[in-house]
Structure 1
Amino acid sequence: MSDTNANLLNGRRFIMVSSTASEVNAEAPTRFTYEEADGLIWGSYDGDTVIQGRFVGTRDDDRVELSYVHALKAGGRAGGRSSSRIETLPDGRLRLVEEFVFDGDDTPQVSVCEEV
C-alpha cells in the first residue's frame, strides 16, 4: 500500500470481527464509518456495547493513528487511542488490525475490523 492511495478510507464501512477487550456480538457487531481527506481521518461507530462513538486521527501509508470516545450501553463512556495497520484481503476488501488502549488502563488490546 502506498501514499498514492489518497483518501483510501473515505466512505468505507467496517464491522468488528474480533476483540481482546470483549466478546463481539456476531448478530450486531460494532459498525464503523470512515471519512478521509488529505491524510486526516474521522468517523463514527455504534453497535454491540456502544451507543455512539466518534474518532479522529491521521493516516500515513498503511498506518492509522486515532483518538476515540464512545457512550456505552451499560452506562458511562470510554475513550482512548489506537494504532491500526491496513491490510488488503484476497477479495480486495480492507481489514484494519488495531492495537488500542483505553484511557486510564494501559492494558494493550487488539481488535480486527473488516470492510463490508
Structure 2
Amino acid sequence: MVSSTASDVDPDSPTEFQYWEADGVVWGHYSGDTVTHGRFVGTRDGDLVSISYAHALKAGGKAGGHSSSRVEAGDDGRLRLVEEFTFEGDDTVHVSVCAEVS
C-alpha cells in the first residue's frame, strides 16, 4: 500500500497484500502497518476487482467491509490497484492505492 485516506501509511512497513485469481474469483491475505492479519475474497471483471474483507488490528479489535478496485498500469509499468472501500458501520468512502512490488 502506498497511500490511504483511512490512515497514514508507514513507508517502512506498509500493509502488503498477496492476491490469487482463478476463473475470475480472487482471494488473498494481507498484513503490516496497522493490520495484524487479514483475508479477502471476491471477483474480477475486466479491470474491476470487488472484494469483501476482514482483518485484526494491531491496536486491538477488528474491521471488515467491502471494496472496489480499478486495476491500472502505472507509469513505471507496474500494476496499481486504486481502491474505494468502506468499513462496516461507517458509510464514509475511503481511497487507497496499492502498487505491485517488482
**Smaller-chain TM-score bracket:** over 0.9
Matches of 2:4 and 2:77 in 1, distance apart?
22
CA distance in 1, matches of 2:75, 2:55: 32
Match of 2:35 in 1: 50
Unaligned runs of 5+ in 2: none
Unaligned runs of 5+ in 1: 1-15
Q: Aligned-pair distance for 1:95?
A: 0.3
Other-structure match for 1:87: 72
Deviation at 1:53, TM superposition (A): 0.1
Deviations for 1:72-108, whole angstroms, at most 9, x for unmatched residues?
0000000000000000113321000000000000000
TM-score normalised over the length of structure 2? 0.97
Query: Which residue in the other structure is 2:54 paired with?
Result: 69
The amino acid that maps onto 2:99 is: E
- More displaced, 83-92 or 62-71? 83-92
Runs of 4+ in structure 1 off by over 3 angstroms are: none
SS at match of 2:9: coil
**Overall identity of the aligned pairs, in %:** 70
One of 71, 76, 81 as aligned partner of 1:96: 81
